[in-house]
Amino acid sequence: MFSFLRPFIFNLDPEKAHNLAIKSLKFNILPENLFTVDNEQILKTNLFGKEIKNPIGLAAGFDKSAEVYNEIFKLGFGFVEVGTVTPKEQYGNEKPRIFRLEKDRALINRLGFNNEGSEIIKKRIENNVPNGLLGINIGPNKGTKNMVNDFVKCAETFFPLGDYLTINISSPNTDGLRDFHKSEFLKELLSKINEIREKSNFKKSFLLKISPDIEETFIDNIIEISLKNNIDGLILTNTSDRNRDNLLDQKKNEYGGLSGQPIKNLSTKLIKKFYKELKDKIPIIGVGGIDSGSSAFEKLSAGASAVQLYTGMIYKGPTVVKEIKKELIDIIRDKGFKNLKEVVGSDLN
């Protein structure tokens, strides 16, 4: 069905196509069993204290204002991350701001955290109990006087909701945000988050989402500061504002964050580096260029306990999760692994 509709969808402006996808999902009446696969129990795992059916999640940025997460669970995802949500509603950058690089199976976006703001989104989630593990990704408003305060405000708003909160310091489309990868800024941010968490009554998991463009020398400090401040997991990685040289599509020099195939190996390499230091202390969620069972397997064997995708669904449509699950089960069985835990970090070359 998607391959039949794809030429029509790809003729639309990418943001219009996205809005249409959100609208259609609201009317998703397709039965859930259309997206399940045989022997899925081998993919069962635990993430932040909750059992999930499979380790394939939808990455942040698709359901920015938490409108359709329950419909997305129906497509067979093991978990969903909504956001990035900012304290106040925000329009984002000028349009056009999403570009399809078809020749590279990639996207470039410079959306700039367009979302309906924390108050509306909080009410929406309160009124629509999630049917699965839900992550809420938070960030600061553009031009805010104090980014740390914005993170704190969002964290406090969402304490009672969802299963984990992601502190997004890695979008390339908000000026100054990625400075939080530097030790002195990261310490300030994470110690503040840790402080309010300890005072709260909620046992909430906090994750940190990292850029693929960091210098290798940052890794040790990021790990040390994260562990010291009780961060529960790392998401590796967000989009890249570099790596344009080998791209084929003429839109390759659009300003913004690159996602999809061209960042696949970049993020896998970073996962390996982090996993070598972290081992099983806290889980890594691997993101970047996943659109098949083998690309999901690469991330898991590099050390990710679970994975997420976004761009893969744009190119392959909503059945991509089913396809990944089927292929992943075959690979796991062929290689003689008994369960997903055995796969995680099995390739450390």
Ligand X SMILES: Cc1cc2nc3c(=O)[nH]c(=O)nc-3n(C[C@H](O)[C@H](O)[C@H](O)COP(=O)(O)O)c2cc1C
> Under the criterion CB under 6 A, does residue 274 sit at the interface with ligand X?
no
> Between 162 and 312, whose beta carbon lies closer to ligand X?
312
Pick the catalytic residue: 171, 211, 259, 305? 171
Residue 290 CB partners (closer than 8 Å, separation 6+): 56, 264, 296, 299, 307, 308, 309, 312, 324
* Secondary structure (DSSP) of 80-127: EEEEEE-SS-B--SPSP-EEEEGGGTEEEE-----B--HHHHHHHHHT
| Cα–Cα dist 319/324, whole Å | 9
Q: Smallest distance from the beta carbon of 29 to ligand X, in angstroms?
A: 26
Which two tokens mark 46?
Answer: 């635990």
| Cα–Cα dist 2/43, whole Å | 25
Q: Smallest distance from the beta carbon of 309 to ligand X, in angstroms?
A: 4
| Cα–Cα dist 140/154, whole Å | 8
Which positions from 278 through 297 interact with ligand X, judged by CB under 6 A?
Answer: 287-290
> Between 18 and 337, whose beta carbon lies closer to ligand X?
18
Query: For ligand X, which residue of 73, 310, 315, 337 counts as binding (CB under 6 A)?
Result: 310
Query: For ligand X, which residue of 25, 47, 52, 59 counts as binding (CB under 6 A)?
Result: 59
Over the window 195 to 234, marking each residue x when it contacts ligand X by CB under 6 A and - when it does not, the resulting string is --------------x-------------------------
> Between 147 and 337, whose beta carbon lies closer to ligand X?
147
> Under the criterion CB under 6 A, does residue 86 sit at the interface with ligand X?
no
- Does the annotation count 205 as an active-site position? no
Residue 348 CB partners (closer than 8 Å, separation 6+): 272, 275, 276, 303
**Helix ranges (DSSP H) in 229-309:** 264-278, 293-302
Which two tokens mark 115?
Answer: 């979302």
User: Could you tell me which of 210, 5, 19 has the C-alpha nearest to residue 98?
Assistant: 19
> Under the criterion CB under 6 A, does residue 171 sit at the interface with ligand X?
yes
Q: Smallest distance from the beta carbon of 9 to ligand X, in angstroms?
A: 15
Which positions from 234 through 253 interact with ligand X, judged by CB under 6 A?
Answer: 238-239
> Between 59 and 155, whose beta carbon lies closer to ligand X?
59
> Between 239 and 268, whose beta carbon lies closer to ligand X?
239
CB 288 within 8 A of CB 264: yes
Please tell me the count of residues contacting ligand X according to CB under 6 A: 28
Query: For ligand X, which residue of 54, 144, 168, 301 counts as binding (CB under 6 A)?
Result: 168
SS3 313: helix
Q: Smallest distance from the beta carbon of 96 to ligand X, in angstroms?
A: 12
Which positions from 31 through 50 interact with ligand X, judged by CB under 6 A?
Answer: none
> Between 45 and 237, whose beta carbon lies closer to ligand X?
237
Query: For ligand X, which residue of 55, 87, 92, 312 counts as binding (CB under 6 A)?
Result: 312
User: Could you tell me which of 151, 133, 2, 128 has the C-alpha nearest to residue 65?
Assistant: 128
CB 106 within 8 A of CB 264: no
CB 247 within 8 A of CB 262: yes
> Between 55 and 288, whose beta carbon lies closer to ligand X?
288
Over the window 137 to 156, marking each residue x when it contacts ligand X by CB under 6 A and - when it does not, the resulting string is x-------------------
CB 320 within 8 A of CB 312: yes
Residues that bind ligand X (CB under 6 A): 59-61, 64, 83-84, 98, 107, 109, 111, 113, 137, 168, 171, 209, 238-239, 259-260, 263, 287-290, 309-312
Positions marked active-site: 171
